[in-house]
């Protein structure tokens, strides 16, 4: 039987002790941002994740979704769990109180996503897309559209989707063919086929709000000619309730490797009625609002997966007895020792834990910067925060999901052959996590975004600030002998990141393929260094808390042990990655295309 308990204590550590959100809460206008409230919300989110989401994770995977005559049936228990989630107010946790939201900070919104998605990836997708749709409408839709849709999305009564992909147009959205013809009354008639639409059809909510990219007649070619429309499954009546069925139907659902409880739909728009969001031909900008928050959420699927994989790895490694410890039997009244005595098993568990706790800390810092971006009155602070979020979003998306996948895979390894068997439940994490590396822009695309666009925008201002801040952090703690174990290993790693950054900036003009050749390694290097910096900060908090005296000494001492593991082992990759980056595109591109 798989296990999961939301790591509530560690979330409280990140937000209340590491980031100390309370210090920012008032200036950002969050009256409920105090440490007690944050802890209480995490506590309740953890309970929901443990007791409502997780128990239907494995059964949902086994049962999957069914399509019959355009109607999708979700796995048993999903509808009830969705209802409990909405009744608790979780759908609108960070949403605008003017539309029924709770107006809570992103540090809560982002962090609880990790618990929910870890406990049940498929189920949480229905919620997460709704959140993203509401976010995009809040930013770009007219007042009239907001009044019609937002309250319903914020309460979760209606769910949302994002419709970008078409059979021939995935990453390259400039090629989409879905058409929007003006009806002459301010509405549009939408024609076309969209694929890979998560939560595109189901009956858990009374209405589904599709946000659809389409082209107006005579629109410019490519991405400059794309507009965004809201197309509801049921047209809202005057009273705002679901009315006439709109001409959008689910044609089929995909048979997938994982996230089987999530309905991935092909949607046919056959003259469906839609309304324009924002201005004409400006759809991609609005969609990017949605995609940025969605990308961070996908990153959390990776770190959440690492957490659940770790917990199951620990449970098995402490229970399964096989062989004896290299140092002699520890379990002499049993025929063998639990496999956690073996160094190779420990290596896998420690790697998972060092990553998942480090990623949680980085997610917390990104979330804090989102709060500053949204709510700060200080223009400069806002810009610095926004730069940080823009820079770290592709890192969180790609690095977290790659490492989440590696962590899930490691747990299968810890289980040995039993891990490969469905009933033990851990191969599901590998299959589920695989999608996180693909959707919302593949990890290759994320890395290109980081190494290309994010390094050049505003003359590389974001990365320069980031590196300078890192220098300052290490200088600040470099004086302290207690911090030497953490600062010393970070110095060469940070140097590698600087050198790699400079190499990409210096060599992109010489050969346009250099950025692409370096991108994936660069993104990984960035992730490894970014988590290292988080471990430096966490070590500081642990050392200080222990010095001040605490009744939780084990918690902080263990964190320091994990910090040392990260410095000794996880960080060590930096030099190899730099070496690879600096070889450039030539070795990759040398073989003629015909020779493949």
Q: Three-state SS for 176?
A: coil
473 alpha carbon, distance to own chain's centre: 26
Contact string 327-366 vs another protein (x = CB under 8 A): ------xx--------------------------------
Q: Which of 410, 386, 581 is nearest to 501 (CA)?
A: 581
Q: Is 377 exposed, middle or buried (0-12, 13-18, 19+ CB in 10 A)?
A: exposed
Contact map string, positions 392 to 431, toward another protein, x by CB under 8 A:
----------------------------------------
Residue 550 touches another protein, criterion: CB under 8 A: yes
Q: Which stretch binds another protein (CB under 8 A): 37-45, 257-265, 362-370, 465-473?
A: 37-45
For residues 146 and 138, the answer to whether their CB atoms sit within 8 Å is yes
Report d(CA 240, CA 306) in Å as an integer.
42
Find the binder of another protein among 14, 19, 25, 41 (CB under 8 A).
Answer: 41
Does 440 participate in catalysis according to the annotation? yes
3-state SS string over 208-238? EEEEEEEECCCCCCHHHHCEEEEEECEEECC
Q: Does residue 553 bind another protein (CB under 8 A)?
A: yes
56, 65, 74, 104: residue in contact with another protein (rule CB under 8 A): 104
Any idea which residue has 């039987």 for tokens?
1
If one asks whether residue 5 binds another protein (CB under 8 A), the answer comes out as yes
Measured between alpha carbons, how far is 226 from 72 in angstroms, rounded to an integer? 29
| 365-113-153 Cα angle (round to 5) | 115
Among 29, 67, 70, 84, binds another protein (CB under 8 A): 84
Nearer to another protein, 48 or 208 (CB): 48
Smaller CB separation from another protein, 30 or 522: 30
Nearest by Cα to 395 from 518, 508, 522: 522
Minimum CB distance to another protein smaller for 55 or for 452 = 55
**88/243 with CB nearer another protein:** 88
Pick one of 88, 236, 329, 452: the residue that binds another protein (CB under 8 A): 88
Select the residue interacting with another protein from 14, 25, 93, 197 (CB under 8 A).
93
Q: Is 575 in the site for another protein (CB under 8 A)?
A: no
Nearest CA to 542 among 23, 42, 22, 13? 13
Nearer to another protein, 49 or 296 (CB): 49
Nearest-approach distance from CB 34 to another protein, in angstroms? 8
- How far, in Å, are 34, 108, 501 from residue 38 at the CA level? 6, 7, 37
Q: x-or-dash pattern for another protein, window 479-498, by CB under 8 A?
A: --------------------
Q: Measured from the CB atom, is 26 or 144 closer to another protein? A: 26
Tell which one of 20, 26, 40, 557 touches another protein (CB under 8 A): 40
Among 26, 62, 80, 87, binds another protein (CB under 8 A): 87
Cβ(588)–Cβ(517) below 8 Å: yes
DSSP state of 266: E
> For another protein, which residue of 52, 56, 384, 433 counts as binding (CB under 8 A)?
52
Size of site (CB under 8 A) for another protein: 27
Q: Which is nearer to another protein, 86 or 277 (CB)?
A: 86
C-alpha dihedral (572, 363, 290, 81), degrees to nearest 10: 120
Nearer to another protein, 112 or 190 (CB): 112
Q: Where do we find the tokens 């949480």?
A: 124
Sign, CA torsion 163/166/169/175: negative
Does 544 contact another protein by CB under 8 A? no
Segment contacting another protein (CB under 8 A): 30-38, 143-151, 221-229, 429-437? Answer: 30-38
3-state secondary structure of 129: helix
Say whether residue 319 binds another protein (CB under 8 A).
no
Per CB under 8 A, 44 contacts another protein = yes
Among 17, 29, 37, 464, binds another protein (CB under 8 A): 37
Question: How many angstroms separate the CA atoms of 388 and 393, rounded?
Answer: 8
Binds another protein by CB under 8 A, chosen from 14, 48, 267, 462 = 48
* CB burial of residue 310 (10 Å; 0-12, 13-18, 19+): buried
Provide the minimum distance between the beta carbon of 32 and another protein in the complex, in angstroms, as a whole number. Answer: 5
Provide the sign of the torsion angle of the four alpha carbons 499, 501, 507, 513, taken in this order: positive
Candidates 247, 246, 263; CA nearest to 255 is 263
**Given 157, 440, 552, 594, which residue is catalytic?**
440
Which residue lies nearer to another protein by CB, 92 or 394? Answer: 92
Q: Would the CA dihedral through 190, 196, 199, 203 be positive or negative?
A: positive
- Which residues are near another protein by CB under 8 A? 5, 9, 32, 36-37, 40-41, 44, 47-48, 52, 84, 87-90, 93, 102, 104, 333-334, 550-555
Q: Give the catalytic positions in this structure.
A: 440
């Amino acid at each position: 039987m798989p296990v999961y308990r939301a790591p509530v204590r560690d979330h409280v550590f990140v937000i209340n002790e590491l980031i100390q959100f309370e210090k920012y809460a008032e200036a950002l206008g969050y009256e409920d941002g105090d440490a007690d409230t944050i802890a209480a919300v995490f506590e309740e989110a953890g309970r929901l994740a443990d007791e409502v989401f997780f128990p239907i994770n494995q059964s949902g995977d086994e049962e999957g979704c069914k399509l019959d005559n355009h109607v999708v049936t979700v796995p048993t228990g999903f509808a009830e769990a969705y209802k409990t989630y909405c009744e608790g107010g979780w759908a609108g946790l960070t949403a605008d109180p003017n539309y029924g939201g709770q107006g809570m900070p992103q540090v809560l919104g982002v962090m609880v996503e990790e618990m929910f998605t870890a406990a049940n990836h498929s189920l949480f997708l229905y919620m997460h897309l709704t959140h993203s749709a509401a976010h995009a409408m809040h930013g770009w839709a007219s007042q009239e559209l907001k009044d019609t849709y937002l309250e319903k999305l914020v309460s979760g009564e209606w769910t949302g989707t994002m419709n970008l992909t078409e059979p021939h147009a995935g990453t390259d959205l400039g090629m989409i063919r879905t058409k929007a013809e003006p009806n002459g009354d301010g509405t549009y008639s939408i024609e076309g086929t969209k694929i890979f639409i998560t939560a595109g059809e189901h009956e858990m909510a009374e209405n589904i709000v599709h946000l659809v990219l389409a082209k107006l007649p005579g629109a410019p070619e490519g991405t400059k000619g794309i507009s965004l429309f809201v197309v509801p499954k049921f047209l809202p009546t005057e009273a705002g309730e679901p009315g006439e069925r709109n001409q959008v139907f689910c044609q089929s659902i995909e048979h997938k490797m994982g996230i089987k409880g999530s309905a991935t739909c092909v949607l046919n728009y056959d003259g469906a009625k839609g309304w324009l969001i924002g201005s004409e031909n400006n759809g991609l900008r609005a969609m990017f609002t949605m995609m940025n928050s969605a990308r961070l959420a996908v990153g959390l699927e990776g770190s959440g997966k690492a957490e659940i994989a770790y917990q199951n790895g620990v449970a098995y490694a402490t229970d399964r007895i096989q062989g004896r410890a290299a140092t002699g039997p520890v379990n002499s009244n049993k025929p063998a020792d639990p496999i956690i005595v073996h160094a190779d098993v420990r290596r896998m568990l420690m790697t998972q834990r060092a990553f998942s706790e480090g990623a949680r800390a980085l997610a917390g810092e990104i979330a804090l910067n989102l709060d500053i971006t949204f709510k700060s009155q200080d223009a400069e602070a806002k810009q610095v925060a926004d730069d940080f979020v823009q820079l770290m979003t592709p890192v969180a998306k790609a690095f977290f999901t790659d490492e989440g996948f590696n962590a899930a895979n490691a747990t299968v390894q810890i289980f040995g052959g039993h891990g490969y068997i469905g009933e033990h439940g851990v191969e599901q994490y590998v299959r589920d996590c695989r999608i996180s590396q693909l959707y919302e822009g593949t990890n290759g695309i994320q890395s290109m975004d980081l190494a290309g666009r994010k390094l050049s925008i505003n003359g590389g201002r974001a990365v320069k600030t980031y590196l300078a801040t890192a220098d300052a952090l290490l200088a600040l703690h470099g004086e302290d002998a207690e911090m030497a174990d953490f600062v010393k290993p970070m110095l060469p790693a940070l140097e590698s990141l600087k050198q790699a950054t400079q190499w990409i900036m210096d060599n992109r003009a010489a050969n346009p393929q250099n950025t692409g050749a370096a991108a994936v390694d660069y993104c990984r290097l960035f992730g490894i260094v970014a988590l290292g910096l988080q471990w430096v900060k966490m070590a500081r908090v642990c050392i200080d808390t222990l010095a001040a005296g605490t009744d939780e000494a084990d918690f902080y001492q263990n964190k320091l042990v994990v910090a040392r593991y990260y410095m000794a082992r996880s960080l060590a990759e930096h030099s190899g990655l730099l070496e690879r980056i600096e070889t450039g595109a030539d070795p990759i591109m040398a073989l003629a295309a015909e020779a493949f």
